[in-house]
Amino acid sequence: MKFAFIGGLASILLTETLAVSQPMDGQTWLAQTPIYRSKYYAIQTDLEVEEAKKLAVHMDATFESYMRLFLKLPIRVTRPSTLDLYLFANQRDYLNVLTTRFKNDGTGSWGKCITMGRRISLVGWRGEHTAEEVKPLLQHEGFHQVSSHLFSDTPLWAEEGMAELFERGVMVGGELALGEFSIHDKKRLQELVQRDQVIPFDRFFAIDSEEWSQRVRAADAGGIYLQAWSMVHFFVFADGGKYEKGYLNFLVLLNRGVEWKQAFVTAFGMPDFDAMQAKWQEHIEKTPPSDYRETIRRFEFLAAGVADLQQRDIYPASLDELEQELKKASFTHESNLFGEPRRISALDPAVFEVPYATETADRKFVLDYPRGAPAGPRRGTAPANMLATGLDPQVFAVTWRRQGNDYEPVFLIGSAAQKVLALAKKPTRPDERDAEERPAEKPPQAPELRTWTSANGKYTTLARLKDYRDGVAQLETADGASIPVPYDKLSPVDQRYLDGWTGGTP
């Protein structure tokens, strides 16, 4: 079964086969290794072609995730036409090129963001690591690269904390799901607090690069990066986003060149560091752990199970019915998500629960048939949407997209998933509701005319969305003209509109 993921996945043009190279001196590597372009990056690499393609696609989607955050802000977004990315198959070439090209000592590092004049380069090596293990590194260093073009005078706690936030992001549908609070991070932070190993906030906010480097060299890297990440997590997600507006305003002021201490006072007022630290510790204690990767694996399993049952004309009306049918059939699914092959069985009751969902939430996934679903189960009927809640700050959802005579699942997060949640109702099929209680169904209205903007912002058109499938939006102008437009040719606002498309009114 093919699983589709919505997102602006850019193609990469590879014109020749690349073999994994043997170590060579820096000048030779630079001279002999080809350079090619993805949507946003100029990439020089000696990785195998297919691996290079996948990492380039991942980084294009990661860059768009950076921009989804920053384009919400009234800031000046400037960047070069392409971003430099060097990917090495082995560590020795990485170190040689850092010395030759960048006059930089990379000893002990896995990846870096290096500034030379106006060029800001992202550099990393794979070695024995898998591509999945390399992705978080590139997400981290890639943020530094983009941040260097957007902000000045960013304090280290905010710069490294934001990079760590993106490093922990999980790619879902071409977008990084941010905000995961893993059980490992939670326990480690609790240990730091209990052992009094937390750097007091008044000192941590003012930490400079020299002290940061000293702590990293003293094997304190884990603790200092963890504290920086948790502080940014606190500002962005604590108390239902209570401090998010102030933090985003802080970033806007940095973008405008305001010195960071003045920017912080303007955004938050004169800080009471002791009170802020107490609130941060409270955030650590009360924030439930989450596991986004396992959530998506279980979603994939459930979607595969729903599709399998539908092929046999079995249409569960609730998760309990789905669980019973899949257990009856001893259903299993082979998952290869995140580079970790797993065989998942319906006989494991945990796969029907949202991992680490809060006790106050329904710990199970929710099935919800779309509004206007045809009465009476039959082949060709769209399967039920699925929701996972209790994983603040994210909401995950699965909707379905017609592919020929079948439906394939589409995984959603963020605002697109929130739309599915807002439409959720009691998980029961329309045909099972009492006829006297069921109001007459109204046919879905055609979407209204709206302004659509090209990705480069140069072109606009007034049209309604007639259909969206296979990454192409079918637009219809007021005079009836039809215009097909690929997803990645549209502005981020229009892309988010398409992410919420369910076949009726978005």
- Dmax of the chain from CA atoms? 79
Tokens 């102030």 correspond to: 246
Neighbours of 135 (CB within 10 A): 23
Tokens 């305003």 correspond to: 249
Q: What is the predicted pLDDT for the residue at 196?
A: 92
CB of 232 closer than 8 Å to CB of 161: yes
- List the one residue out of 164, 170, 174, 63 whose CA is nearest residue 394: 170
CB of 224 closer than 8 Å to CB of 212: yes
Domains, the chain, with CATH or none: 26-286 (3.40.30.160), 292-432 (no CATH), 450-499 (2.30.30.700)
- How far apart, in Å, do the first and last CA atoms of the chain sit? 27
Tokens 């006297």 correspond to: 436
Task: At 85, give phi and psi (nearest 5°).
Answer: -135, 120
**Is the Cα dihedral 470, 475, 481, 486 positive or negative?**
negative
Q: What is the predicted pLDDT for the residue at 328?
A: 95
Neighbours of 148 (CB within 10 A): 15
- The angle subtended at Cα 391 by Cα 296 and Cα 345, nearest 5°, is 35
423: helix, coil or strand? helix
CB of 5 closer than 8 Å to CB of 173: yes
Note down pLDDT in tens along the chain; length 506 residues. 323 333 333 333 333 333 444 556 789 999 999 888 898 899 999 999 889 989 999 999 999 888 887 777 777 766 666 789 999 999 999 999 999 999 988 888 899 999 887 788 999 999 999 989 999 999 999 999 988 888 878 899 999 999 999 999 999 888 899 999 999 999 999 999 999 999 999 999 989 888 888 887 776 668 899 999 999 999 999 988 889 888 888 888 888 888 888 888 998 888 888 999 999 999 999 998 999 999 999 999 999 998 899 888 888 888 889 999 999 999 999 999 988 899 999 999 899 988 887 655 566 788 876 554 444 345 556 788 888 877 778 888 888 888 777 788 888 887 666 666 666 544 444 444 444 344 444 434 455 677 788 787 666 677 888 888 877 888 887 666 678 888 888 888 888 788 776 554 44
305: helix, coil or strand? helix
- List the one residue out of 468, 462, 449, 459 whose CA is nearest residue 491: 459
pTM value surpassing 0.85: no
Q: Strands 83-88, 41-45: parallel, antiparallel or unpaired by DSSP?
A: parallel
Torsion angle of C-alpha atoms 290, 294, 297, 303, degrees rounded to 10: -40
* DSSP 8-state symbol, 188: H
Neighbours of 27 (CB within 10 A): 12
CA distance 240 to 222: 27
CA distance 179 to 168: 8
Count Cα neighbours of 117 within 13 Å in the Cβ-side half-sphere: 4
Strand partners, 48: none
- List the one residue out of 291, 310, 316 whose CA is nearest residue 1: 310
CA distance 34 to 421: 47
CA distance 353 to 365: 6
**Is the Cα dihedral 494, 496, 502, 505 positive or negative?**
negative
* DSSP 8-state symbol, 490: B
Neighbours of 269 (CB within 10 A): 9
CA distance 388 to 353: 9
> What would you report as the CA-atom Rg of the chain, rounded to the nearest whole angstrom?
24
CA distance 57 to 47: 14
Distances (CA, A) of 231 to 42, 166, 456, 477: 33, 14, 35, 48
Distances (CA, A) of 282 to 193, 322, 378: 11, 39, 51
CA distance 385 to 322: 13
**Is the Cα dihedral 128, 133, 135, 139 positive or negative?**
negative
DSSP string, 306-317: HHHHHHTT---S
